A = this chain, B = another copy of it.
């Protein structure tokens, strides 16, 4: 089972009336710093504040009426949970979200706002999975994995479709990589449109499992990830890894200081709220880890959800 450009195009036709066509921003200041032309695809301005709205909506709308009727379930405390809850509401079916009992109130609230039911579990991967399994057995709901699901991956790839429609002559695209849903969808879409586009994944040094996976040819677990980029702490899945192996030019890692510095710079110059994970791809340019001088570079800003009570550049 491989993902194709046709899948991504199909996803876009399916979801486009239910998501924002997010803007592509440019900045002379950031271009001068990078010595390149940068085009920021602003998925922080997407519904639910993250690209996850794309994949979850595609997955839910792809279900047959019979499959959809009992509802959908996932385990996630992040943006996918809110995105799935919203997608289920669009289709008027139940959503069951398995969340660790220590999840922040804000994340619980954003799921409840869309009418989803929260099922709490112990904060371990095993408890999440077994709890989701018991929900499936009880309700018959369809499990929608946050990233290792071809329909989710196809949905995430629609961000690249829109970006390349607007800026067709890109040389490179930079994407954050956590579980790999965005990176796999984007790289399949971009390569399908133009095989010469190089797609790079960027991840924190403290959660460099994708770089290690690509280097060893085998999915490496993300053991004790240490990074502020909370969306990028997960390991790859078999579907996402397969596409990443096929299509990605390389994985670049960035330091925590580079992430925080980039995040602040994006806030100051682009005037938009970018969460730490969303700043990671641009961070690959700030210290010249990746030299893309003179090139036209698409950068996917993955999301803008974070706690505004304190910011990472402030001393606590």
Contact = CB atoms under 8 A, between A and B. Distances in A.
B304 A314 contact: no
Contacts of A74: none
Contact of A45 (B49, B271, B304, B310): B271
A79 to B, nearest CB: 12
B272 A271 contact: yes
Given A273-B271, A273-B272, A309 B314 contact: yes
A311 B264 CA distance: 13
A270 B271 CA distance: 11
Contacts of A310: 314
A49 B314 contact: no
A23 interface: yes
Nearest to A45: B271
Contacts of A25: 45
7 closest cross-chain pairs (CB), A and B: A271-B304, A271-B273, A44-B271, A272-B272, A45-B271, A23-B23, A267-B273
A308 interface: yes
A262 to B, nearest CB: 13
Nearest to A44: B271
How many copies of this chain? 2
Most buried by B among A23, A273, A309, A310: A273
A268 interface: yes
Interface string A260-287: 0000100110111100000000000000
A46 to B, nearest CB: 9
Contacts of A311: 308, 311
A205 to B, nearest CB: 24
Contacts of A44: 271
A73 B273 CA distance: 34
A271 B40 CA distance: 15
Nearest to A272: B272
Contacts of A313: 308-309
A313 B311 CA distance: 12
Interface string A180-217: 00000000000000000000000000000000000000
B23 A271 contact: no
Interface in A279-316: 304, 308-311, 313-314
Nearest to A306: B268
A44 B23 CA distance: 15
Given A23-B23, A271-B273, A272-B272, 5 more contacts: A44-B271, A45-B272, A267-B273, A271-B304, A309-B313
